[in-house]
Amino acid sequence: MSRLHAIESKILTLVEAQRRMAMWHMKGDKVVFTNGCFDLLHQGHVTYLAKAAGLGDHLVVGVNADDSVRRLEKGSDRPINPEAARAFVLASLGVVDMVVIFNQDTPEELIHALTPDVLVKGADYDPNETNAAAKTYIVGSDFVRKNGGEVCVVEIVNGFSTTGIVNKMKKG
């Protein structure tokens, strides 16, 4: 298999992802899930993903589809990179085992469909928050816990954000 094909084979549809997850779970592997837009991949993202991957045997990344990013109101010029390009760049990382694009506003349906063992978000979220309306609530956390999984947060690298990079580029 070529290296290009190896990258492309990590980007799966939901049905393909469910099959691969079932295989991993049959082997007793611990699967970690996280999600985000990952519009302009930077050191903060890569550090976050590496830490998340360290919490299990496989890392699955849910990527917001273009329409989903626009609904998140991150700016009229976002996403900068289309969903296929964002998924491809993520899949090229050695710490990422699978990428699935989702079009919903939250990854809730994707989390229910995949049933990861560990759900991870950045430390600006609260793994103990149970109020779904709270800004620090981790979507899918109740479901993951009910299915025997764990919910974790990892520290964020200060000084790196896509919005910050975009603003810096606009200033010239």
pLDDT of res. 94: 98
Q: How far apart are the first and last CA of the chain?
A: 42
28, β-bridge pairs: none
Q: What is the rounded distance in angstroms from the CA atom of residue 130 to the CA atom of residue 124?
A: 15
Q: What is the pLDDT of residue 160?
A: 66
Question: Average pLDDT over the chain, rounded to whole?
Answer: 93
E strand or H helix at 153? strand 150-154
The CATH number that applies at residue 17 is: 3.40.50.620
Residue 165: what pLDDT?
A: 67
Q: How many domains does the chain have?
A: 1
Q: What is the DSSP string of 101-147?
A: EE-SSSSHHHHHHH--SEEEEETTS-TT---TTSTT--TTHHHHHHT
Residue-level pLDDT at 79: 93
For the chain, percent of residues with pLDDT exceeding 70? 94
Share of the chain above pLDDT 90, in %: 83
**Which DSSP symbol is given to 96?**
-
Mean local confidence (pLDDT), 80-102: 97
The answer to whether 61 and 90 have CB atoms below 8 angstroms apart is: yes
Question: pLDDT of 97-141, one tens digit each?
Answer: 999 999 999 999 999 999 999 999 999 999 999 999 999 999 999
Handedness of CA 117, 29, 49, 38 (dihedral sign): negative
**pLDDT (mean) for 142-155:** 97
Write down the H helix ranges in 27-128.
43-53, 66-71, 83-91, 108-114
Position 95: which residue type?
Answer: V
Asked whether 113 and 74 are in contact (CB, 8 A), the reply is no
Structure tokens at 80: 């900068």
Q: What is the domain range of residue 164?
A: 3-171
